[in-house]
């Protein structure tokens, strides 16, 4: 593997609900999960906008209930997708999403009293910026390079959009790797001594919003993905939603009030449902209490694990069907699997574990790896591998596969596959085609991704015309598909007679952000950062003043000191303290310098009064 980057480089697991960052540590010879400013090892993928600031992570999630329409989460469920494809999600989100250019979803928020619109890439970039800052604080140095993970089942536009999010965050995304593959790296390093023998491992990765499974073989430190399958829209949030619906119905029955269209009530209920779900992973029954969920009425109820399983059973079974598909694709038998590794927070659900264990005929599941951190751990390992001069970086080689078949539309509206799914990447494959009509001056090439025989039922990645001067029926065209290490596709076509060649610009035609747009967003992100810094400075100035006022109040209250200060100085100081308190209480909109200047003035006043005492003036 060519090493081209300079460290420090980090690994980021950009999750639907939580994100995690890690870095390879030369001293300890392992990847370190980095905790955030709250001391948590994962950070909510939440961004909130208020009347005076932008919040990211825990701070954003903590104020969700009071500001539901301006608290954005689930950007991963929006990224790289079209507005028409997210209609079911929209109904569940308390924030507003509209159709923007090219049918790209735009998130609407109110920030500092103004309406602002964001693409999912921009929201994800804010989360990535936060993860980068967490790492920078820990490493005490700037971080530029990162490996970012995506679900194995992410399609081409979702991968590209994630890469764009990295660019907007000012990161150089060295590589996009698949989440289960990253987890396999973490597993491989934990089982380090056994990496020489061949082992087949099955990764079951069920997170907050996505589900992925991968079958890999590890031999001589080479990690080869054999097959992958998944659903980019299946995860813990779907189980939460089922619980929400259950309690909304129950509330309706008991109180004759429908809260299904009340964003604030729903958000608070959803937060409680997530807690209920987690509790049911170790308890058989639990209670739920949401005070004054609507119009002062409390929601108070209980639910058993059996009921939770019943209302989610079809989703659990869907997971097992996907597991089966992965084995069919790989041509491998499940009995050849050495370890079934559980990854992602939702893999803790006992019923799922039981169904999975049944599928593997009672085999013990491997759960010695932290399901919330393994992906970031693996990403940090990959980041170290890509960097120059990292000491003790593990000696591993990773070979992934493409999750979806890629091809072009041919006569009869059929999909002709050029690269079948689960082909190892990077890969370049070429296929010859003939034009279907006489005297055409250009051949229209439509590139699709997906498994349906009918091209239009798959995902259109882009289209372009290849000039074919006066071509008759049967004119030969060569089409070349090439997928790089990030799983990102490039397509070129060549008219074999004229030598005309054309590359597809899937990137722009499929709504991917143009270079100019990314540049503009980077600028906006910097403006946001500048605003955040400005606010931080103001908060610091207000805190400093507050602390000093407290100190002076104590000083005046202390009779020993106070009796020595002249009555004139004491009155002056006292009046200024009262003014200072008023300034803090009522003038949030004042500029930072107002607080800084006020503090200086008060400090000078107090210093001079104390000086007079020491000098006996
Ligand atoms: P991840 O994307 O891997 O961080 O997974 C986050 C998802 O895991 C969220 O939907 C969480 O609610 C869910 N989760 C975390 N812990 C548990 C648990 N003990 N039982 C069930 N779900 C959990």
Q: Return the top range by mean pLDDT from 192-196, 393-397, 424-428.
A: 424-428
Q: Indicate whether residue 487 lines ligand 1 (CB < 6 A).
A: no
Amino acid 195: pLDDT: 56
Per the omega criterion (within 30 degrees of 0), is the bond before 8 cis? yes
Predicted confidence band at 569 (pLDDT cuts at 50, 70, 90)?
confident
In percent, the amount of the chain with pLDDT more than 90 equals 57
Q: Is 76 a catalytic residue?
A: yes
- How far does residue 351's CA lie from ligand 1's centre (Å)? 14
Is the pLDDT at 510 greater than 50? The verdict is: no
From 76, 203, 236, mutation site for ligand 1 pocket: most ligand atoms within 8 A of C-beta = 236
Amino acid 395: pLDDT: 82
Q: What is the pLDDT of residues 81-104, one digit of tens each?
A: 889 989 988 988 989 999 998 889
Mean pLDDT, residues 466-485 taken together: 81
Instruction: State the pTM of this model.
Output: 0.84
In sequence order, what DSSP letters do the residues of 164-200 get, joined into one string?
A: HHHHHTT-EEEEEEEHHHHHHHHHHHHTGGGTTS-EE
User: How far apart are alpha carbons 178 and 11 in whole angstroms?
Assistant: 12
Active-site pick, 179, 212, 237, 409: 179
Predicted confidence band at 509 (pLDDT cuts at 50, 70, 90)?
very low
Q: Indicate whether residue 125 lines ligand 1 (CB < 6 A).
A: no
In percent, the amount of the chain with pLDDT more than 70 equals 95
Is the pLDDT at 508 greater than 50? The verdict is: no
Q: Which residue ranges form the domains of the chain, and what is each CATH number?
A: 9-234+315-398 (3.30.420.40), 236-313 (3.90.640.10), 404-506 (2.60.34.10), 516-615 (1.20.1270.10)
Q: What is the pLDDT of residues 106-132, one digit of tens each?
A: 999 999 999 999 999 999 999 999 999
Q: What is the pLDDT of residues 300-340, one digit of tens each?
A: 999 999 999 999 999 999 999 999 999 998 889 999 999 99
Place of tokens 């070429």: 430
Per the omega criterion (within 30 degrees of 0), is the bond before 426 cis? yes
Q: How many residues belong to the chain?
A: 617
- How far does residue 236's CA lie from ligand 1's centre (Å)? 6
Q: How far is residue 590 from each of residues 91, 93, 344, 498, 575, measured CA to CA in Å?
A: 39, 35, 45, 69, 20
Q: What is the pLDDT of residues 523-552, one digit of tens each?
A: 888 888 888 888 888 888 989 999 999 999
Amino acid 526: pLDDT: 82
Q: Which residue has the higher pLDDT, 108 or 368?
A: 108
Q: How far is residue 308 from each of residues 26, 195, 229, 260, measured CA to CA in Å?
A: 45, 39, 26, 19
Is the pLDDT at 438 greater than 80? The verdict is: no
Predicted confidence band at 194 (pLDDT cuts at 50, 70, 90)?
low
Mean pLDDT, residues 354-363 taken together: 96
Q: Indicate whether residue 278 lines ligand 1 (CB < 6 A).
A: yes
């Amino acid at each position: 593997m060519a090493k081209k980057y300079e460290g420090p480089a980090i690994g980021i697991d950009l999750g639907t609900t939580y994100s995690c960052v890690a870095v390879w540590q030369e001293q300890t010879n392992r990847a370190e999960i980095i905790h955030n400013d709250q001391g948590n090892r994962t950070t909510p993928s939440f961004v909130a906008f208020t009347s005076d600031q932008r919040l990211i992570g825990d701070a954003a999630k903590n104020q969700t209930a009071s500001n539901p329409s301006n608290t954005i989460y689930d950007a991963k469920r929006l990224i790289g997708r079209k507005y028409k494809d997210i209609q079911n999600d929209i109904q569940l989100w308390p924030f507003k999403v509209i159709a923007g250019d090219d049918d790209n979803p735009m998130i609407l928020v109110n920030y500092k009293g103004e309406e602002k619109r964001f693409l999912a890439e921009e929201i994800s970039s804010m989360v990535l910026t936060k993860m980068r800052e967490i790492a920078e604080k820990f490493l005490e140095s700037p971080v530029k390079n990162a490996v970012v993970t995506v679900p194995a089942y992410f399609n081409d536009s979702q991968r590209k959009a994630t890469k764009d999010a990295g660019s907007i965050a000012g990161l150089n995304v060295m590589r996009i790797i698949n989440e289960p593959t990253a987890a396999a790296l973490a597993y491989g390093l934990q089982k380090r001594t056994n990496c020489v023998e061949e082992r087949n491992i099955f990764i079951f990765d069920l997170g907050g919003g996505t589900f992925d499974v991968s079958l890999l073989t590890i031999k001589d430190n080479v990690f080869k993905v054999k097959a992958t399958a998944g659903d980019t829209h299946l995860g813990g949030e779907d189980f939460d939603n089922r619980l929400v619906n259950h309690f909304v119905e129950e509330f309706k029955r008991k109180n004759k009030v429908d809260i299904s269209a009340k964003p604030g009530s729903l958000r608070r209920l959803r937060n409680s449902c997530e807690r209920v779900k987690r509790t049911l992973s170790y308890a058989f029954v639990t209670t739920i209490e949401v005070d004054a969920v609507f119009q002062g009425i409390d929601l108070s109820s209980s639910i058993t694990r059996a009921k939770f399983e019943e209302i989610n059973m079809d989703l659990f079974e869907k997971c097992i069907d996907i597991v089966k598909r992965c084995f069919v694709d790989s041509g491998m038998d499940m009995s050849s699997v050495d370890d079934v590794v559980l990854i992602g927070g939702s893999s803790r659900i006992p019923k799922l574990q039981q169904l999975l264990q049944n599928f593997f005929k009672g085999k013990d599941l491997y759960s010695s790896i932290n399901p919330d951190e393994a992906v970031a751990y693996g990403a940090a390992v990959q980041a170290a591998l890509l960097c120059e001069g990292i000491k003790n970086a593990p000696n591993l080689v990773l070979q992934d596969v493409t999750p979806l078949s890629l091809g072009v539309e041919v006569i009869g509206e059929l999909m002709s596959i050029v690269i079948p799914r689960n082909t190892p990447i990077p890969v370049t494959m070429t296929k010859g085609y003939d034009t279907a009509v006489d005297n055409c001056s250009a051949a229209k090439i439509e590139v699709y991704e997906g498994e349906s025989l009918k091209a239009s039922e798959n995902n259109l990645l882009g289209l372009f015309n290849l000039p074919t001067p006066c071509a008759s029926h049967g004119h030969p065209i060569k089409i070349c598909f090439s997928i790089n290490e990030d799983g990102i596709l490039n397509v070129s076509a060549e008219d074999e007679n004229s030598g005309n060649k054309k590359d597809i610009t899937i990137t722009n035609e499929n709504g991917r952000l143009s270079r100019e747009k990314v540049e503009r967003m980077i600028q906006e992100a910097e403006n946001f950062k500048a605003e955040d810094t400005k606010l931080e400075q103001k908060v610091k100035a207000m805190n400093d003043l507050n602390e000093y006022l407290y100190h002076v109040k104590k000083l005046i209250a202390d009779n020993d000191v106070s009796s020595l200060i002249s009555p004139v100085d004491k009155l002056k100081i006292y009046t200024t303290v009262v003014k200072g308190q008023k300034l803090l209480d009522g003038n949030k909109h004042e500029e930072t310098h107002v607080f800084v200047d006020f503090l200086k003035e008060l400090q000078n006043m107090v210093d001079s009064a104390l000086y007079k005492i020491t000098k006996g003036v």
